[in-house]
Structure 1
Amino acid sequence: MAKFKIVFQPSGRRGEFDGELTILDAAKSLGVPLESLCGGEGWCGRCKVIVEKGSENLSPLTTEEKKLLSDEELSLNYRLACRAELRGDVVVSVPEVSVARVQVVRKPLLEIPVELKPALKKYYVELPPPTLQDPTGDLERLLKTLEETHGLKNLKVDYPVLKGLSKALRDGEWKATVTVWCGSEIVKVEPGRSERLYGVAIDVGTTTMVGYLLDLTTGKLAAYHSLMNPQVPFGEDVMSRITYVMDNSDGLERLHQKVISGINSITESLAKQAGVSLSDLYEVVLVGNTCMHHLLLKLSPEHLGCSPFPPTLHQPVDVKARELGVRILPSGNLHVLPIEAGFVGADNVGVLIAVEPWKSEEVQLIIDIGTNGEIVLGNKDRILSASCATGPAFEGAHIKYGMRAAPGAIEKVKIDAESLDVEYETIGGEKPRGICGSGIIQVTAEMFKAGVILHTGSFNKQLETPRIRKTSEGYEFVLAWKDETAVGADIAVTQKDIRAIQLAKAAMYAGAKVLMKRFGADHVEQVILAGAFGTYIDKEAAMVIGMFPDCPLEKVSSVGNAAGEGARLALLNLSKREEAKWIAEKVHYVEIAVDPHFQDEFVAAMMFPHQKDSFPHVEHLLPKEES
């Protein structure tokens, strides 16, 4: 088989490859930091490269490239790295706009105080060595000592622990530390005295995964790490991944292995950050939507894709780490919180045990913002939940200059209503490279307030400013001029970007209105924002564009990654696991897609901020002609 050479400039990294593969594949193999928000699926347009030599040695232009690359870019030999296959030797340049940057972890935890009562506990013991007069077996000797000194009875021992038991006891000269899970099973025996005891809480999101390392002896956060869900190349949302499983005989296995690889990347990073061994990680508590839940447990999500959307199970799951290939202590436990329904999963249960709406007198609207948005409405009387497919627009995807929350991402914007001059702030204070999810919400609100876009979301063609221009793809508004940016091009918000935000916010708003009708509430008294960037969203901007119904701004709060917080609480306190089981059974799930009011509510919510609902708490901010 022929070998093809590829050189990446300006880094100079090069390599030889057998057979046909894409430029993106080669970049990954050589460690070239090339952006690919969609994971190589061909829809984000972020992996642009310039072919300096050997353009004839690449596969022909694809439909995706003709759609995502401008005429000017095509004339300059731009290609999408994920679509251009090597057929011979090439030299390519990676423009600044395509250089991948390290994502900033934007899923902070509230770290709600909780009594430290983890599933695992360590016990130090000193055993009498065996003698001719007392040749009792090592296990029986250990069990007797544990009962006499710590009151532990009827303990089981995990088989791999049993295999290493005799050596551990003798290496410690009959002094050992025994780790017990849930007061019932020995999962580790170490020579001498050992105090290291860690657990991991992981939120498996459709787009992003984030993990937190907790010291189970103190309850303190020791490290955190986030990454793009490795399943993204197989589909940007849950339905596309369900379809992939249904259409491919090895689909379930592949998606399962991808999510496990993501979990392992997290555990390895956390252990490295904290300077501990993977064997010091004793338990992982996981949350995720129902599809992610099924895929990580290697349960087919096929039936989640069609009515009545039944999951394989609702109850929580405990499984040995070695059974799923998760890299922690092999005898360690994976605990997956229970799920509510086909599209409201363990992540929402995590949110609920963190926020505890059943203790509230006021009607709370809890919105977990992400690719698979989840909504909860309720108080001490009852709680309703629903799922709405907002898509990845709030994650920065499907936005022309959208990007992850990395250095250089525009996250705050102010547009002068008179001059239309733009002031912005970027993550890290670097020159702008794109717009992150929280940034696009504020940009949209500022454009609406300044009259750049109208009530319908269309551009105001009456304004005369160089920032509004028409391209072959439609109208756009320039946020940052070429000489201000780090990417050698203007950064703009397009009409298509605005439509993507309208679709996402309309789905969320319509879902909330359906729940309000079911609940019998004509208004909400509190709005709680959770999710990937709930903490970073400007609540005033969110209300201006109509992401949720009107509410006093002082009653709108952000709780960060509440799903991850719920996983943390369940890791640190066993009672929270019982609470999770209780609330998963108590919540009433509403299938909003079949609700007769949903479509009308969705259409009305496409407007900024809404076609008919009033917003008295931000009315003074709305354009006069649109209010």
Structure 2
Amino acid sequence: MTQDKAPAASAKDPLVVFTPSGKRGRVPTGTPVLDAARRLGVDLDSVCGGRGICSKCQVAPAFGQFAKHGITSNPDALSAWNATEQRYADKRGLPEGRRLGCQAQILSDVVIDVPPESQLHRQVIRKSASARAVEMDPAIRLHFIEVTPADMHAPSGDAERTAEALEAQWRISGARPALPVLRTLSQALQDGSGKITVALHHTHVDQPPQIVAAWPGLLDGDAYGLAVDLGSTTIAAHLVSLRSGEVVASAGRMNPQIRFGEDLMSRVSYAMMNPGGAAQMTAAVREALAALAGELTTEAGIPPDRLLDMTIVGNPVMHHLLLGLDPTPLGQAPFALATSSALDLGARDLGLATLPEGARVYLLPLIAGHVGADAAAVALAEDPGASDDLVLIVDVGTNAEILLGNRSRVLACSSPTGPAFEGAQISAGQRAAPGAIEAVRIDPATKEPRFRVIGCPLWSNEDGFAEATAGRGVTGICGSGIIEAVAEMRMAGLVDARGLIGSAAQTGSARMIPEGRTHGYLLHDASASVGPRILVTQADIRAIQLAKAALYAGARLLMDEMGVDEVDRVVLAGAFGAHISPLHALVLGMIPDVPPERVSSAGNAAGTGARIALCSLAARRRIEAQVHQITKVETAVEPRFQEHFVAASALPHAEAPFAHLRQVAPLPEPQFNAGDSGGRRRRGRGQASETI
């Protein structure tokens, strides 16, 4: 079925929500999933044209109650397993829970996940590893030893003689092998003629280390660790040499839990409303971590048995779901944590079967019920408590972690920004992938836009752009793109301070398209070639306003607690910080007003903190102590949060003057009326209306 011949859907037809893209829409009953994906612009691969041969269109339907989406997705939401799927499963196999998108038909409301391998354009996980000098002091260290042979006249075990060799040759006392190593130690000694390399896992200086791996002879190469930033939307992992600290490979993928809910409270709700729902989410994220570990060792050409340590940071809900702990207490006051302490576990305790049996996992401590190990990792990486000036550190994702501090005091909170900054809940929004608009500029005189898409260095008005993007086209707009688009519209006078979009008559631009009682700004139109028509709609503006107001309100609460009205500098962390200019962040009022040159990017600070902890036992001990010194501010029960939120809904703010911003970017001050398509605007109370 081609897109232009598809029958129109009605309000009674099934609603389908695709994850991780977040795209949704109604389709006629009986529409194949593959056709629904094409109709809604979802990135679902197919090579055979829907004949059930290539299996590229595999999807994973999710069942249960999804309060965030307003959907109850039942097992009979898709048509029954058919002969084509059975034939393919018999010949090549289909993972449990998967369906072929070209065969499964949509019969009722349903949530459908498109796994990474079925996505035509691989998602871009923009959480790269930044360089950071770290004094190497890893928990896992390699030691070559020569073990005395067994002597029937002085009997002792292989484990005991190995421990004696470590004490004699390395002055390491009391080392004992973990049970998995004990099973293989004798063979390693035999194969190495008594000469072996052992990996020791150190915890505290007053505790003996544990032998977690052994190889015959002198090991050629290093041991490795994995630093993981377990975000609610994306998972980023860095494979690190535990000898040099060098990042040898990095990879990322969408968090598969997205199919259960885009934000944290949606996932808590799913766990509450669906028996076994928490276990489903636990299994999904553990499977993703195991797959990432295998992917990275393969990419780096490293034997899997060398991956012996892992550090993981994430917010409290991600932390609890990974551990298999009940997340539902985090959904309501007092937001009780099952544990806030750092944890040192065996990888097999977390079901990470692709890692060696002796591999270890360290989870950084949590700060509070809504301020997790990711915020602790940011504090470890950026160390606000060592700053002479007052620094605000903002790590933005679906849930924002905010730190404010200097040498005298450090405060922390989280703020529920939602998925709009990730491109979700946006009319033409999508995750960051090739073809997505990532940067926007609007000429304030002509109101004409130009933009850049992921995968192409050219701007849309430059020669060669059409040819360079012809293969995949312009597919949608990601988080950084919609943020810049809204800020540029504000600077061009297309949006007023309240967030209302003007009409064509009010703005003088034919790109303002009526949409009922509101308007949208036409950013890109490829409908003539059956491509997307990308608008920035009034609903998109509102979604960004809600997200940025929550972010600003959280920062403002910390400033209230600190007793200040200004900060000295702002550090933007995460993918947001790396891809949004300080000017656009200030125009939207996402952060408190500072001179733009006092806004800097820290890259993926949470991931950096995870790498520091991976490479340094001292850093682990340091952050374990520091979290007890951080003052937690709970936004969910703070009375002033709503007051700050309302004022921060304006662009950039209803009350704060943003004097530093206005020195570098004077903002037009139109006032548009919702539903007014004529050529008049109100100037404000007591002022005459003016024709434009």
Question: For the superposition of Structure 1 and Structure 2, which TM-score range results when normalised by the shorter chain?
Answer: 0.7 to 0.9
- Which residue of structure 2 aligns with residue 192 of structure 1? 217
Return the offset for 1:132. 4.3
| Aligned counterpart for 1:103 among listed residues 123, 126, 130 | 123
Please identify, of 353-362 and 467-476, the stretch whose mean Cα deviation from structure 2 is larger: 467-476
1:530 pairs with 2:566 = no
1:291 to 308, 317, 322: 317
Distance 1:333 1:269, change over 3 A: same
The answer on whether the counterparts of 1:107 and 1:533 sit within 8 Å (CA) in structure 2 is: no
Say whether 1:433 aligns with 2:475. Answer: yes
Q: State the match for 1:217 in structure 2.
A: 243
| Contact 2:67/2:269, CA 8 A, preserved across alignment | no
Question: Are 2:563 and 1:520 equivalent residues in the alignment?
Answer: yes
Q: Deviation of residue 34 (structure 1)?
A: 8.0
User: Who is 2:48 aligned against?
Assistant: 12
* Aligned match for 1:570, one of 600, 613, 635: 613
**Aligned mates of 1:473, 1:136 — CA distance in 2:** 86
- In the TM superposition, what is the alpha-carbon distance from 1:623 to its structure 2 partner? 2.8
Q: 1:522 to 1:427 in 2, by over 3 A?
A: same
Q: Which residue of 1 aligns with 2:264?
A: 238
Correspondence 1:394 to 2:431: no
One-letter identity of the residue aligned with 1:469: I
Q: Secondary structure at the match of 1:460?
A: coil
SS in 1 for 2:340: coil
CA contact (8 A) 1:42 1:83 kept: no
Return 5+ residue gaps in structure 2 as ranges. 1-30, 36-44, 71-77, 81-100, 108-113, 203-207, 457-468, 672-692
Deviation at 1:484, TM superposition (A): 9.5
1:503 aligned residue? 546
What's the secondary structure of 2:576's corresponding residue?
Answer: coil
Q: Does 1:381 align with 2:424?
A: no
Matched, 1:475 2:519: yes
- Check 1:361–1:86 CA distance in 2 against 1; reply closer, same or farther (3 A cut): closer
Q: Which moved more, 1:407-416 or 1:211-220?
A: 407-416
Alignment correspondent of 1:71: none
Distance 2:46 2:382 in 1: 49
Other-structure match for 1:418: 445
Task: Give the counterpart letter for 1:625 in structure 2.
Answer: E
Taking the aligned partners of 1:39 and 1:215, their CA distance within structure 2 comes to 42
In the other structure, the counterpart of 1:303 is 329
Q: Distance in 2 between matches of 1:168 and 1:12?
A: 50
- Give ranges in structure 1 of 5+ residues lacking alignment: 17-26, 46-56, 60-80, 88-93
- Write the deviation string for residues 128-147 of structure 1: whole angstroms up to 9, x where unpaired: 32244454322222111111
1: distance between equivalents of 2:306 and 2:79?
48
Given that 2:46 and 2:56 are in contact with CA atoms closer than 8 Å, whether structure 1 keeps it comes out as no
Do the aligned residues in 1 keep the contact of 2:559 with 2:566 (CA within 8 Å)?
yes
User: Is the 2:320–2:327 contact (alpha carbons within 8 Å) kept by the matching residues of 1?
Assistant: yes
Q: Distance in 2 between matches of 1:589 and 1:156?
A: 40
- Once the two structures are superposed, what CA deviation does each residue of 1:499-555 show, in whole Å capped at 9, x if it has no partner? 000000000111111111111011010101112331111110110110011001111
* TM-superposed deviation, 1:36: 11
Q: Which residue of 2 aligns with 1:465?
A: 509
Equivalent residue in structure 2 for 1:330, among 345, 353, 357: 357
Give the match for residue 621 of structure 1. Answer: 665
- Equivalent residues of 1:44, 1:398 under 8 A apart: no
- Alignment check: 8 A CA contact 2:572 2:578 kept: yes
Q: Distance in 2 between matches of 1:7 and 1:305?
A: 36
In structure 2, the partner of 1:557 is 600
Work out the CA distance in 1 between the residues paired with 2:357 and 2:50: 39
Partner of 1:543: 586
Which residue is equivalent to 2:166?
146
C-alpha change, 1:450 and 1:295, in structure 2 (3 Å) is: same
CA–CA separation in structure 2 for the residues paired with 1:144 and 1:353: 37
Give the letter for the 1:567 counterpart.
A
TM-superposed CA distance for 1:155, in Å, is: 1.3
Cα distance in structure 2, aligned partners of 1:293 and 1:7: 34
1:63 alignment partner in structure 2: none
Quick one: distance in 2 between partners of 1:402 and 1:602?
24
State the alpha-carbon separation in 2 of the partners of residues 131 and 593 from structure 1.
67
Q: Is the 8 A contact 1:154 1:184 kept in 2?
A: yes
Indicate how the Cα distance of structure 1 residues 7 and 353 shifts in structure 2: closer, same or farther if over 3 A, else same. Answer: closer
Q: SS where residue 317 of structure 2 aligns? A: helix
Q: Could you say what secondary structure the match of 2:486 adopts?
A: helix
Give secondary structure in 2 for the equivalent of 1:103.
Answer: coil
Give, as a single letter, the amino acid of the residue that structure 2 aligns with 1:386: C
Is the aligned partner of 1:170 residue 2:190? yes
**Contact 1:13 1:32 (C-alpha < 8 Å) held by counterparts:** no
Stretch moving more, 29-38 or 135-144: 29-38
Q: Provide the residue aligned with 1:64 in structure 2.
A: none
Is the 8 Å Cα contact of residues 410 and 435 (structure 1) preserved in structure 2?
yes
State how far apart, in whole Å, the 2-side matches of 1:290 and 1:82 are: 38
Q: CA deviation at 1:624?
A: 3.3
| Cα 1:578/1:564, change in 2 over 3 Å | same
Rounded Cα–Cα distance in structure 2 between residues aligned with 1:536 and 1:58: 42
Contact 2:525 2:531 in 1 (8 A): no
Query: Which whole-Å CA distance do the structure 2 matches of 1:181 and 1:10 have between them?
Result: 47
Could you tell me which amino acid in structure 2 is paired with residue 232 of structure 1?
A: I
Is the 2:32–2:102 Cα contact (8 Å) retained in structure 1? no
Of 440-449 and 6-15, the range deviating more from structure 2: 6-15
Query: Aligned letter for 1:268?
Result: G
Q: Is the 8 A contact 1:260 1:324 kept in 2?
A: yes
Residues 199 and 531 (structure 1 numbering): CA distance in 2 closer, same or farther, change over 3 Å?
same
**RMSD, matched Cα:** 3.0
Q: Which residues in structure 2 correspond to 1:73-88 (within 5 Å)?
A: 85=105
Q: Report the secondary structure of 1:535's partner residue.
A: helix
Measured in 1, the distance between the counterparts of 2:575 and 2:517 equals: 30
SS of the residue corresponding to residue 152 of structure 1 reads coil
Query: What do the CA deviations read for 1:533-592 (whole angstroms, capped 9, x no partner)?
Result: 311111101101100110011110110111111000000011110111112111111112
The CA deviation at 1:593 is 2.6
CA distance in 2, matches of 1:389, 1:252: 21
Alignment deviations for residues 92-139 of structure 1 (CA, whole Å, 9 cap, x no partner): xx9xxx964112231122222010110011111122322444543222
Q: Which moved more, 1:243-252 or 1:476-485?
A: 476-485
Give the alignment of 1:268-287 within 5 angstroms.
Answer: 268-287=294-313
Taking only the aligned residue pairs, the percentage that are identical comes to 40
Matched, 1:179 2:179: no
Matched, 1:259 2:302: no
In 2, distance between residues paired with 1:504 and 1:342? 21
Following superposition of structure 1 onto structure 2, how do residues 32-111 of structure 1 map, counting pairs within 5 Å?
Answer: 32=57, 85=105, 100-111=120-131
8 Å Cα contact 2:147/2:165 also seen in 1: yes
Question: What's the offset of the Cα at 1:439?
Answer: 1.3
* 1:474 CA drift (Å): 4.2
Give the corresponding residue for 2:641. Answer: 598
Q: Distance in 2 between matches of 1:170 and 1:308?
A: 57
Distance 1:515 1:626, change over 3 A: farther
Supply the distance in 1 between the matched residues of 2:668 and 2:164 (Cα, whole angstroms): 80
Cα contact 1:256–1:297 (8 A) shared by 2 = yes
Aligned to 1:407: 434
User: What amino acid maps onto 2:647 in structure 1?
Assistant: A
Residue 174 of structure 2 aligns with an amino acid whose one-letter code is: N
Cα deviation 1:292-316 (Å, max 9, x = unaligned): 1111111111211121111011110
8 A contact 1:283–1:334 mirrored in 2: yes
C-alpha deviation, 1:594, in angstroms? 2.2
